[in-house]
Structure 1
Amino acid sequence: MYFHVQKFINDIAEDEPNPAAANALQEGLGGQFGEMRTMMQYLFQAMNFRGPAAKPYRDLIQGIGTEEISHVELIGTTISRLLDGSPQYQGKKSDPIDKPGAGGAIPLNIALSESNIHHYLVGAQGALPVDSAGNPWSGSYVYNSGNLVLDLLYNLMLESTGRLQKCRVYEMTDNKTARSTLAYLIVRDQAHENAYAKALETLGVNWSATLPIPKTNAERFPEVKKLVDMGLQSKQYSFDLAGQSEAGRIFQGASPSNDGTTLDASEQAPEGVPSVIAPERFEEFAPGVDAELLKLIQATAELELAEVENLFGPTAASPSSAAKPSTAAAKK
């Protein structure tokens, strides 16, 4: 089972909208080596895992796969924020949607001249499950051979290539919103490189001479250096509520990155930062909830809650839960 904590795994810095950066980040979301692929690959490997004696390896792969779900959320939200708003358009919520903004700019003029027009036509200024060229994400990217060593080798290659691409995207933009997320993912990709390299070492494959891949000296990126100085590249989380993960039996000892750090798998999950919902985009008709529709939604919710209470008794969300005895109590 999976639980969702309403926090982002890392903070997303505020900056101006940047559709070009958003489109470049789409490669890190829906590309062949993007976060959607790592999430699906590791979860499928974990679901199809065989061999109870090798449980620590399953737990390691599953923990990283669970973290990748939060990376999909993080990079998707970042793309949305980079698209959230139209530069030079300063319209007000009370303005008609066809009213020109500052300097006579129309709300979505930037969609015609920059990056992926599908971000505006299809996604309502939001992320899409595509790469930077607009190609849909494909399940054929997922590698799950059933052989532990082959899967770990492929996973290490996947993390290394994803990290390489994120370093390139970082150098394509100076936008703070994009760079805050890219820096975090660059460091966490290195942590996952370390995890798979350490797992391979325990199986007799020595990767210590080659890591980190690529040797970009990414620490020169200020946002990356800050996270590396915190040791984030040497942490791995279990995301295990029951404390049954055995991934720490593998993710321990000296880091394969040879940076003088020690691998640490003691934490269940990072603290995270508050999750916020973006404001409505009136020029995109999103979400387009008017007063009458809100009344209908509320009425429907109250009917559904009443049905639940009839079957199971008052819920915590019910205003009448404190006043009325439960159905079970009433029958006694």
Structure 2
Amino acid sequence: MYFHLQRLINPIEQDEPDPAAANALQEGLGGQFGEMRTMMQYLFQSINFRGPEAKPYKDLLQGIGTEEIGHVELIGTTIARLLDGSPRYRGDSDDPVDEPGAGGAVPLNIALSEGNIHHYLVGAQGALPVDAAGNPWSGSYVYNSGNLVLDLLYNLMLESTGRLQKCRIYEMTANKTARSTISYLIVRDQAHENAYAKALETLGVNWRTALPIPKTNADRFPEVKRLLDLGLQSTQYSFDLDDQSEAGRIFQGLSPSGDGTMLDASQQAPEGTPITIAPERREEFSPGADAELTALIAATAEMEMADMEATFGRL
């Protein structure tokens, strides 16, 4: 079973809307080497895993796959915040949505010239399951051979390529909102590289000569260096409420990254940061909830919270 703690896995910095940066981040979400791919690949590998004696490897896959769900939430939320608002529109928030703002500007004019028009036309200023070119995410990306060594080799390549692409996205924008998330994902990709490299070592695979982890020099990015100094690249979480994960039998010892750090799998999950719901966008008719529907939503939320407290105790 999976549980959702209503906190983002990492804070998102505030900055101005930037639709072009949002579209670049779509590659890190729905591209061939993006977070949707890693989430689905590792979860399918863990679901289909065979061999009880190899449980530590299943636990490692499941823990990383569960973390990737949080990464999808984080990068999707970041894309939405980068799209949230129309920077050149200066109309009053109480104006009718069909009235021009200052200088004749219309609310969604930016959609015609910036980023991906589908972010405004289809997604109501939110993330989409597509890459930066607008191609839909495909389940054919998922690699699940059933052979442990092959899967781990492919996963190491996937994390290495994903980190490489995120370093490129970092270089494309100075927007603080985009960089805060992309920097976190760069460091966590390195942690997952370390996990799969260590797992291959325990199976006798000399991965260093066959598939060396690429040198990206990402530590020169100040946001990345701060996280590396905290040791985030050498930490892996279990996301296991029952504390039955055996992934720590693999994720231990000296880091394969060669940075002198020791691997640590003792933490269940990161602390996270509170989630705030974005304001409605009247020009998108989103959410478009009238007074009666809003009251129903509030009542339903109270009922769900009461059911949770009856089951799990006061949260």
Q: 1:95, CA displacement in angstroms?
A: 1.4
Where do 1:48-59 residues align within 5 Å? 48-59=48-59
Q: Which structure 2 residue ranges, 5 or more long, are not aligned?
A: 311-315
**Letter of the 2:256 counterpart:** P
Where do 1:1-332 residues align within 5 Å? 1-208=1-208, 213-295=213-295, 301=300
SS of match in other structure, 1:100: coil
SS of match in other structure, 2:207: coil
SS of match in other structure, 2:67: helix
| CA–CA separation in structure 2 for the residues paired with 1:263 and 1:78 | 29
SS of match in other structure, 2:172: coil
**Letter of the 1:92 counterpart:** D
1:33-64 residue CA offsets vs partner (Å, 9 max, x unmatched)? 00000000000000000000000000001000
Structure 1 pair 116/231, CA: closer, same or farther in 2 (3 Å)? same
Which stretch of structure 1 is more off in the superposition, 289-298 or 196-205?
Answer: 289-298
Aligned partners of 1:254 and 1:260 also within 8 Å:
yes
Structure 1 pair 177/212, CA: closer, same or farther in 2 (3 Å)? farther
| CA–CA separation in structure 1 for the residues paired with 2:307 and 2:198 | 47
| Deviation >4 Å, runs of 4+ | 208-212, 295-299, 314-318
1:136-188 residue CA offsets vs partner (Å, 9 max, x unmatched)? 10000000000000000000000000001000000000000000000000000
| CA–CA separation in structure 2 for the residues paired with 1:193 and 1:317 | 39
**Letter of the 1:5 counterpart:** L
**Letter of the 1:98 counterpart:** D
| CA–CA separation in structure 1 for the residues paired with 2:151 and 2:309 | 45
Q: Which structure 1 residue ranges, 5 or more long, are not aligned?
A: 309-313, 319-332
| CA–CA separation in structure 1 for the residues paired with 2:173 and 2:252 | 36
**Letter of the 1:47 counterpart:** I
Indicate the RMSD between aligned Cα atoms, in angstroms: 2.1
Aligned partners of 2:88 and 2:110 also within 8 Å:
no
SS of match in other structure, 1:171: helix
Which stretch of structure 1 is more off in the superposition, 264-273 or 287-296?
Answer: 287-296
In structure 1, the partner of 2:313 is none
Normalised to the residue count of structure 2, the TM-score between the two structures is 0.93
Q: Which has the larger radius of gyration?
A: 1
Structure 1 pair 245/278, CA: closer, same or farther in 2 (3 Å)? same
Aligned partners of 1:163 and 1:190 also within 8 Å:
yes
Aligned partners of 1:88 and 1:102 also within 8 Å:
no
Which stretch of structure 1 is more off in the superposition, 85-94 or 50-59?
Answer: 85-94
